C-alpha cells in the first residue's frame, strides 16, 4: 500500500484500515508463535503499512 493511496481515503476509512492491519499483525504473530508462518516477511510488511497509516492520520491533525 502506498502513502498516496492512503491520503485519498477519509479519516473513517483510515481508522478501519488501521484496525484491519492490527488484526492481521496479531494473526501473523500467533502463526509465528505456533510455527505455522511460512513467509516471515509478511510481518515486516504489515508493520510498515501500520506505520504509513498512522503517519497519514497524524499529518491530518
pLDDT in tens, the chain (61 residues): 788 999 999 999 999 999 999 999 999 999 999 999 999 999 999 999 999 999 999 999 8
Residue 46 CB-density burial (10 A; 0-12 exposed, 13-18 middle, 19+ buried): buried
**CATH code, 3-60:** 1.10.287.310
Residue 33 CB-density burial (10 A; 0-12 exposed, 13-18 middle, 19+ buried): exposed
Give domain limits for the chain: 3-60
To the question of pTM greater than 0.75 for the whole model, the response is yes
CB atoms within 10 A of CB 53: 24
Amino acid at each position: 500500500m502506498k502513502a498516496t493511496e492512503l491520503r485519498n481515503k477519509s479519516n473513517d476509512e483510515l481508522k478501519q484500515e488501521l484496525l484491519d492491519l492490527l488484526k492481521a499483525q496479531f494473526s501473523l504473530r500467533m502463526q509465528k508463535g505456533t510455527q505455522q508462518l511460512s513467509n516471515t516477511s509478511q510481518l515486516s510488511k504489515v508493520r510498515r503499512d501500520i506505520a504509513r497509516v498512522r503517519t497519514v492520520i497524524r499529518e491530518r491533525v
